[in-house]
Structure 1
Amino acid sequence: MKNAKGVGAAVAAIAIAVPVVASFEGLWLTAKPDRLAYNIPTVCYGETEGVRVGDKYSKSECQAMLANKLPRYAAEIAKCIRVPISDKTRAAFISFAYNVGSAGFCKSTAARKLNSGDIRGACDALMAWNRAGGKVVKGLVNRRAAERAMCLEGI
């Protein structure tokens, strides 16, 4: 297993995470309310910060936005990962955190299991995060399965 810890080591993990995040978030060039996220205005690849319904972006602007955002998530979750993990495992957790928030990851059973040395259990724990609005959502089931598979590939 390739050991990686901290922001500097996250560069490869971010590169691995980008296509996963992009494929599951989908691309919206015009901001609209996200029905799975309490109608929060969302644009590009799931961007919500400073977004107003109707805002318009090009695909290249959206790609740049995502490329600039993922390092923040990588840095935030690095603060609560206290064991060495591979780039693929880190990428899975970056994708997960982008979807549920860094605090969601850091307070999760996945982070707790990871830091106790149970990396496989941490990967498996991602599967519990498959609901939006209290209902199981097929897209989240699929995303968690992809993140879990990537996570396990890193072991």
Structure 2
Amino acid sequence: MDLKTKVGAGVIAAAVGLVAAWEGRSLVAYVDPVGIPTICEGYTHGVRLGDVATPAQCDALTKQEVVKALAVVDRSVSQTLPDGIRVALASFVYNVGPGAYGGSTLLRKLRAGDMAGACNQLPRWVYAGGKKLRGLERRREAERQICLSDLQ
């Protein structure tokens, strides 16, 4: 495995770990706080109540979705971002979706080269279904700290 592959795998592993820490895991589908059927670590695509997954299926789904979120982040800017920003924003995109990220002030600041300003936008994203959620406040602060970590 070459260095670039190792670094990429490290970023993916770090992002998977961050997502898993904040999403929690359910092997049985449930309805999330905004009414969406969800399974594993926040996976929603095509999920129906009554669906059941194995831990291995959840691991694979989470990695697959983190890789997709990381690709959204990497494609959204022309410059190479520090790993901490990539990890934090992959977790963010995994949680809010590429559409919300794509239209955000956070992305506008990132594209303008204001990386710290972009990271400091994360704590604004703490609402789900119009309600401020303590879990999202804690998650966004953790993402913000990781995002800023390579900028010190």
Please report the TM-score for the alignment, with normalisation by the length of structure 1: 0.88
Equivalence map 1:84-99=2 (5 Å): 84-99=80-95
Counterpart of 2:79 in structure 1: which amino acid? Answer: V
RMSD: 1.9
| 2:48 is the counterpart of 1:52 | yes
Are the counterparts in 1 of residues 73 and 86 from structure 2 also a CA contact under 8 Å? Answer: no
Equivalence map 1:5-154=2 (5 Å): 10-34=8-32, 36-37=33-34, 39-154=35-150
Q: 1:80 to 1:9 in 2, by over 3 A?
A: farther
Are the counterparts in 2 of residues 83 and 114 from structure 1 also a CA contact under 8 Å? Answer: no
C-alpha distance after superposition, 1:68-101 (max 9, x if no partner): 2211111122221223211111010000000000
C-alpha distance after superposition, 1:16-74 (max 9, x if no partner): 1111101111101100111x22x111000000011110111111211111112211111
3-state SS of the aligned residue for 1:48? coil
For 2:86 and 2:40, the matched residues in 1 are separated by 23
Are the counterparts in 2 of residues 10 and 87 from structure 1 also a CA contact under 8 Å? Answer: no
3-state SS of the aligned residue for 2:42? coil
Are the counterparts in 2 of residues 123 and 152 from structure 1 also a CA contact under 8 Å? Answer: yes
Are the counterparts in 1 of residues 11 and 87 from structure 2 also a CA contact under 8 Å? Answer: yes
Long gaps (5+) in structure 2: none
Query: Identity of paired residues, percent?
Result: 40
Counterpart of 1:105 in structure 2: which amino acid? Answer: Y
Report how many residues are paired.
148
For 1:12 and 1:68, the matched residues in 2 are separated by 15
Q: 1:76 to 1:122 in 2, by over 3 A?
A: same
For 1:11 and 1:103, the matched residues in 2 are separated by 25
Moved more, 135-144 or 58-67: 58-67
For 1:59 and 1:48, the matched residues in 2 are separated by 16
Larger RCO, structures 1/2 (Cα 8 Å, 6+ apart): 1
For 1:145 and 1:56, the matched residues in 2 are separated by 31
